Structure 1
């Protein structure tokens, strides 16, 4: 979805983008040294702001809890609390940080860790865990790769555990970084105004998706 949005934004201003997939650290390093023009998606932090130009918000990154449609969690549908989670076995992925509440849950009850998000989805389908934490769009991308009869079993609790803004980064040492960023911003504004972004978002909605809201 994000690739489609970035491609459409640049296409709107007459720029065709070649996309390459790299590990996160390599993508950041190559954008920092100018061998790659842009990298995405990234959240803000002070260290990156010294090295990169940030776009405006492209999308929200939200961690949500996935579960089987055959299960219901009414106590979590309005607000996710430590007490509400305490009765359930929650799966996560080794090395991932899911925010302060899940850190506290992990310390008190233990997140059941697996080596990958894919393995966690398998555990969820098999009933070995009650809930699985993943970034919303990543989770649904992985679900879309499952057989139809399996993907149809899954949905998410409609409240975000964490929410942060996601941005496109341009390395300050790159070629014409200000122009690279300004073209993106111009294109992004255009596709939001002409409905292209909305169409992309609608095309990526999968059966079972519960769009997450941020608990107040």
Structure 2
């Protein structure tokens, strides 16, 4: 069994820089008391190898580009479809359940991608949701009547507001993120969850432009496994009110 002493890097302590927009509880506001369970796991996993973690916030599309260009080491909260060219660790840090949300008064039901016909779908720039929905967004991203792409520093709050004011019809989001957002903002419209369309592991993914990315992915996987085997990950998840099978 791998132990913490097996993970210490032979070289001096280094720093890994990871970034994302806040997507709480997976990853939250950088520098806050609760930076998100994935960031907490990463800090403890990398500390076993003598590696410091710097976590910063920027838009998701910018974080992907900064990592793709090699300016930062990786992105937090990635699905495989977000960045297929990135280096993914073997061990996932968590998981996501993508749901479709509507205004609470809506009676619309999802019956496959064709049931989006005639509706306006909100999507956040650079996000992956599900293979089928991602393909639909790509087909219609130049038609704002079908797909409205949101960018900027706080797209989730904006999306909730747009649905609440009947400015759009459907919005895909991770259900844990939506539940967290609505719990933290009691004045937000309590959107209706129409259906869960996709479940996926979620990762920290590393830059395809940096030579150390494979090593970082391996170090993170090793440390994550130690934390999982020891029960520490369950403790971290519980501190965010979360639990799921290993």
TM-score by shorter chain over 0.5? yes
Which TM class, normalised by the smaller chain length?
Answer: 0.5 to 0.7
Q: Residues 65-112 of structure 1: CA distance to partner in whole angstroms, max 9, x if unpaired?
A: 112344444x43xxx31453346x333147567423456788999425
**Counterpart among 170, 174, 193 of residue 229 in structure 2:** 193
Deviation at 1:115, TM superposition (A): 4.0
Instruction: After TM superposition, give the deviation of residue 141 of structure 1 in Å.
Output: 5.9
1:145-193 deviation line (CA, Å, top 9, x unaligned): 64x0325x12423322x55554333457757555533331122113333
Offset, 1:55: 0.5
Please say if residues 102 and 194 of structure 2, whose CA atoms lie closer than 8 Å, have aligned partners that are also in contact: yes
TM-score (norm 2): 0.55
CA distance 1:156–1:204, shift in 2 (3 Å) = farther
Confirm or deny that 1:54 pairs with 2:84. Answer: no
Name the structure 2 match of 1:18. Answer: 54
The residue aligned with 1:30 is 70
Higher relative CO (Cα under 8 Å, sequence separation at least 6) belongs to: 1
**Other-structure match for 2:121:** 91
Alpha carbons of structure 1 residues 169 and 184: separation in structure 2 relative to 1, 3 Å: same
**Number of positions where the alignment pairs a residue of Structure 1 with one of Structure 2:** 192
Q: Is the 8 A contact 1:82 1:105 kept in 2?
A: no
- The DSSP-based 3-state class of the residue aligned with 2:168 is coil
Task: Spell out, residue by residue over 1:37-74, the C-alpha distance to the aligned partner (whole angstroms, 9 max, x if none).
Answer: 443344447x965xx5420233445543112344444x
Structure-1 residue corresponding to 2:3 = none
Q: TM-score, normalised by structure 1?
A: 0.61
Query: Is the alpha carbon distance of 1:41 and 1:174 closer, same or farther for their aligned partners in structure 2, counting shifts above 3 Å?
Result: same
- Cross-structure match for 1:130: 169
Which runs of no fewer than 5 residues in structure 2 stay unpaired? Answer: 1-25, 28-35
Whole-angstrom distance in 1 between the partners of 2:213 and 2:202: 19
Query: Residue 167 of structure 2 aligns to a residue in which SS?
Result: coil
Which residue number corresponds to residue 15 of structure 2? none
CA distance in 1, matches of 2:135, 2:213: 35
CA distance in 2, matches of 1:11, 1:4: 11
2:203 to 154, 167, 174: 167
Aligned residue among 160, 163, 169 for 1:121: 160
CA contact (8 A) 1:5 1:197 kept: no
Q: In 2 relative to 1, CA 21–103 (structure 1 residues): closer, same or farther, beyond 3 Å?
A: closer
Structure 1 CA distance for aligned equivalents of residues 93 and 166 of structure 2: 35
Aligned-CA RMSD value: 4.2
Structure 1: where are the runs of 5+ without partners? 212-216
